Structure 1
């Protein structure tokens, strides 16, 4: 069982043991997560079945990925953050706004890719050359992974739609069955009424 406590903290019961877990950082582009489990720092690398398939094909994203570090060109103040981890960007897209010497400087994505992490916070003072973001470049491997991500979403959406359609068809079939049963009962009652009416008429004629 997992209970969310807020602010990235969770209480976990596993095999009868209790754990306090905290998400320290999450890099959705590389599927790397840093956790604290009962105070112990742990780094995890998540892989789904598509990742395992790529490993089997010798197309591991870990060996193919390229990372671009965006650094502050001058000392200043971060006045706007326009992206978040896991967000896809194109070359030239604005990532951060750095205020220096009363002028706003827009720091842009150096290449197509996915924002791995934002290394600074809003209103933070940064020094020249300080790393502010990591952008995982969009190479052939990452394009394949992006396509696989689309396939995953489509498969999930399709399964959800099919499940809903089956449920709706089942409900409609049950309604039709109930309607058929009600109609059968009504017809049977009508036949009984007709039989009773004919019998009554026959008795009247006899008198």
Structure 2
């Protein structure tokens, strides 16, 4: 028996799924993030409502019930047993200029809540416009530049709370 994944549902139920059983799952995509699943002659409607790819965490709606599902593969389990955490990336608290340039646009204000990948600022450098997207969800603590400012490499642009 080759365990492919450990699945934790709602921090209550824990399952070991074999690679073979996963490959035999009868699931058909009907729309983006929506599936029709047939298991032991019983049909299910499933929808992925949200996901956090780095944490391998998903919110899934099956029929009319919503579940939080966390999936771990053997490498994730081994890394955790060794005392490390996967996807424990460094928290980014500041955006600094990677090169000298000119601030062309600022899309946020102090105190504004932003989501990961929201546009924050555009820096013109070397005849190109460089958009800086938010590296994480958060709140803007300070903006150290204004539109039209010339900045040096490494200069603080935006800080998160």
TM-score, normalising length from structure 2? 0.44
By relative contact order (CA 8 Å, sep 6+), the higher-ranking structure is 2
TM-score, normalising length from structure 1? 0.35
Higher relative strand content? 2
| Higher alpha-carbon Rg | 1
